[in-house]
Structure 1
Amino acid sequence: MSGELRLLKYVEEAEFGPDAGINTVYIVGSLELRLDDLPESCKWMSKECALRLLSEAKPGNDRIGQYAYIGLLNSELSSNCTASPALPFQEYPPGITLVPMKSRTLAPFRTTNLVVVRSTNGAGGSTCSDFFASGEALLIDPGCISQVHAELADLIDSLPKRLLVLVTHHHQDHIEGLSVVQRCNPDAVLLTHQSTMDRIGKGTWQIDYTSVTGGEKICIGDQELQVVFAPGHTDGHMGLLHVNTNTLVVGDHCVGNRRAREASILQSIENGAQTLFDIVSKTYSDVDRKLWIPASFNVRLHVDHLNSLHKLPKDFSLENFKESCGVHFMLRWAVAYVHSRSSPAILAASALAGGLAIACALRRNYCKQS
């Protein structure tokens, strides 16, 4: 091998599993002779081949790392996102641009990704008649805070007028910029789940919207996308599959153990758990008890899903379960939480909370009997 080569960077990339992870070595320079005796896990690849793998991704194919694309390919490709210079953005894979926007998300995070999809060949969607919805550009989750609404407006003004907007769920850090979209492009079409729209309300989005449930196909020029129903984080949570590159835009959460968790919840119910606290304490017994409150919301969604599939045991009372989801759960959780801390003052508070829980249970039974 001859020629001048220089190591620019070595990147340990995130593991997407279940296969072995891929790390990227970025080398710049001229290579006059191919080196064929590489380890089995490594290969030389031309820029053209790398771009083809990114643009025509298939399940099971080789994957090109993010930094290889940004460093090697972006220098020859103009981005489809003409955002304000004040907004950093990243296009990966081709056709999908991420714009991190300051938002009211939870610490330690400070931004929520605004996703922009545009045609990569300038097509305007003229061949999209067989799709559920079509446009020249798509925005996903415009949820930035008011301090960067001007930058969001600049971005929207740079996009074609045939604009689709998808909201993955109703949390504020994903919808706070909807008013800007509405003001800058009154003809934009909002796509979201009905449960999400019910929570957004007309005060945030006052023009027409289209409800999606999952499976709908969307066309953005030469880009094909498919809506994915992914309840769990919220009951109306949606994802979006970018078919061209086999890339999933997940909103907030993409949880790998959802089915295993649901199976463990069903097993705890079949073993006699009747209340929300019973199910949480058995299913999340290995989890810090301070996290049982957010876990309880997950359990409620799974129980609703199991009920919709008619998988709940006949002796399980959904009415009693729902009654146990309020004060009853909080009091029993407080007892369990303070007991795990085990100081005398905490145990005294635990006893008081336990007494209140018993009183609430007796009162509920008395009301039912009368």
Structure 2
Amino acid sequence: MAETIQNELIQYMFLRDNNGNLDVMGCLGLWFGKSNDTDIEIKTLFGHHVAAVLTGAYDDWKKTPRGCLALMILVDQFPRNIYRHTVQSFAGGKIARTIVDEAHDWLHDLKPEECIFVPCLIMTHQENVVDQEWGLRFYNKLEHLLPTELHIFRVILEEHARIIRISFASQREKRGQEEPAAWLSKHEVAECHETFRAFDKDGNGSFDKTELATVLSSTGRMYTEDQIQTAMDRISGREGSTSITFEQFSALLRSNMNTSLEVRARRLFERFDADSSGGISLKELKLCIRGMDDLVTGAEIEEMLKVCDSDHNGELSFEEFSAILPRFEVV
């Protein structure tokens, strides 16, 4: 019985043709698409299993790699459909993390595309730098085995890791007691001030809990008040902190200034351009943007393409693509 349910879950998430070949574009549409019909279908077919697993059922599935993959779909993926845009959509995160600790050889026991889910996506959904970097190291070993169209996951994993490094920096990484001018150029200090002012809504020169919540929500995740307070304490280095100074905030951005904006933009462009045509089509744009921000609708993406496609050829050049990036804070 358990094996039958596991196979149903895996077959639902990994679409294949009659010969067993992965339908890559169909999978990307399912994984990144935002469809009420799909959400309803998942709830109808698997909602009772999701409810059960969130209360601790099916723990014995971890004994096999395929069981782990099916379990991950139930605790990490389907809650995002069934409880979309609510805190409950992330309720299975801790259970999912325990899956990675199982002594399985993922690359040997699962198909390459399945390894995107276990362990990569599990680790990129964790809110600590150690797990984020572990997931990236695993992906580095996995990428050459994947279809080119799935290389978009490097962008997703790297951007999630970048946000976590900013939001939950360790004490060693923070330089909150130093003046930013001691280790940043004047241009970099100006960039920090610009970013800081964008979130410092009351203009008092510091972030309070509400303003920090706005920063964290830019990752596309929802956080509880306790999680926000924990982040504030870690950034400021003080328990029960009520504010974050500009110096503390700018220290968090230091690691992100080692690579120029143009270099990062070029790297993203090449990964969005799945067919290496030199331009990003509407289809490629939809898949990539929804991978970073699933609140963006298809109509909004089409409007972005229309506005930024200055030569009206139906694709985005590198220069046109660069104009979109600030909307998602990915550079």
TM-score, reference length from structure 2:
0.30
More helix by share: 2
More contact order relative to length (CA 8 Å, sep ≥ 6): 2
Structure showing greater radius of gyration is: 1
